[in-house]
Amino acid sequence: MTAATAAAAAPGTGGVTIRDIARVAGVSAGTISRALKNEPGLTESTRQMVLNTARDLGYDFCKLRPKRLRRLTFLLHRQHNTAASSPFYSPVLHGAEEACRKQGIVLSFMAVGPADGLADQLRIHAPDGIVCAGFFEPELLTALRDTGKPMVLIDMKLRGYSSVNPDNMMGGYLATQHLIERGRERVGLICGSLSHYSIRERARGYRQALYDAGILADPRLEASLPDGVDLETGAWEAMESLLALPKPPDALFCYNDSAALVAMRCCLAKGLKVPHDISIVGFDDISTAVLGHRPLTTLRINKKELGALGVELLLNSRNGINGTNGTVEEKISPVELVVRASTVC
């Protein structure tokens, strides 16, 4: 802050006021108040100018009285708005909807991507807060953060943002540990893109369990879904690549149930018996996990609880600039190993 700016701010009686910000910014105190409270009627450039000026002057955002949340928008990335992903994210959305109903909050839903004109869509929905479920590109999150609205991430974690996640690392660990305890010696892994926080953590749990059991991780036993293909095709190709190895795996941990069910069908098509020849564990405990050729051993997540916890974090937010002057909270939801016929004869 320059000496001139400091002099224009407050004469030294302590604490920067709205009138101080208005004097420096050259706009009315009403404009400052609307910008700080994230109220409609201002251009985005004016709002950002006011917020930047307030930060430069050292304004205490905690002075703002928290606005009651009346409208909330649940955002899902377009890549998750698919038949393969809906068994996981639909219950999360339902959990958020139930929590909103109890609080008298109106919930709207949006599936978005990087080229969707996010700002225009948000203006139509006019939310007081935002819940983002699953993976989002950094530029999308930056655009959302710049709106100044309180925001919570579900099934994703990023520095500076409040978030709710299942215990992904522990889930990967428990799955792999279970397979090792069943006497399996070559435990393979099928995973998606490691840019996704949840997948990265599940893979980390897999490797940690191998390490703790004194088993050297073999990178040849790890297969990722190829880029640019749907889950069905990608998981099938990943499974085929593992089965083509000179020493294929005798057990498999998949990053989610949908991939595990595809991998199981591939193994059966190749003449393998599950779990006699290969044991398979998934993750998420979606509704179709019990409908495969063998009911699937998996990690159960309370998906509706994830949605409800996301709304709870948003309600606990003390001001509308989450991660800057607001308090960042991170909640971890426990997972449970559910043993079924895909690993136990």
- pLDDT computed for residue 64 by the predictor: 67
- pLDDT computed for residue 321 by the predictor: 41
Residue 115 has pLDDT above 80, yes or no: no
Alpha helices by DSSP H, 157-213: 168-181, 197-212
Residue 9 has pLDDT above 70, yes or no: no
Supply the mean pLDDT for the chain: 88
pLDDT tens per residue, range 80-106: 877 667 889 999 999 999 999 999 999
- pLDDT computed for residue 63 by the predictor: 67
- pLDDT computed for residue 326 by the predictor: 53
Alpha helices by DSSP H, 43-83: 44-57
Q: Which of 54-63, 258-267, 290-299 has the lowest mean pLDDT?
A: 54-63
Max CA-CA distance within the chain? Answer: 82
The two counts, helices (H) then strands (E), for the chain are 12, 12
pLDDT tens per residue, range 222-256: 999 988 899 999 999 999 999 999 999 999 999 99
Between these two residues, 55 and 318, which has the higher pLDDT value? 55
CA 318, 112, 88, 205 torsion: positive or negative? negative
pLDDT tens per residue, range 249-291: 999 999 999 999 999 999 999 999 999 999 999 999 999 999 8
Between these two residues, 216 and 113, which has the higher pLDDT value? 216
Rounded Cα distance, 33 and 31, in Å: 5
Mean pLDDT throughout 162-174? Answer: 97
The 8-class DSSP code of residue 190 comes to E
Residues 6+ apart with CB under 8 A from 195: 135
Cα end-to-end span (Å), the chain:
70
Cβ neighbours, 10 Å, residue 227: 7
Question: Cα 45 to chain center, whole Å?
Answer: 29
Rg (C-alpha) for the chain, rounded Å, is 24
Query: Half-sphere exposure (CA, 13 Å, Cβ side) for 173?
Result: 14
Rounded Cα distance, 339 and 342, in Å: 8
Model confidence, pTM = 0.78
Q: How far is CA 239 from CA 84, 208, 298, 303, in A?
A: 17, 22, 18, 27
Q: Give the pLDDT band (50/70/90) at residue 14.
A: low
Of 80, 107, 77, 83, the residue nearest 95 (C-alpha): 107
- pLDDT computed for residue 203 by the predictor: 98
Rounded Cα distance, 250 and 208, in Å: 19
Between these two residues, 55 and 182, which has the higher pLDDT value? 182
- pLDDT computed for residue 40 by the predictor: 67
Between these two residues, 126 and 74, which has the higher pLDDT value? 74
Rounded Cα distance, 60 and 77, in Å: 34
Token pair in block for residue 190: 């099928």
Residues 6+ apart with CB under 8 A from 185: 215, 250
* Ranges assigned E (strand) in 178-326: 187-191, 222-224, 251-254, 279-281, 298-301
- pLDDT computed for residue 7 by the predictor: 44
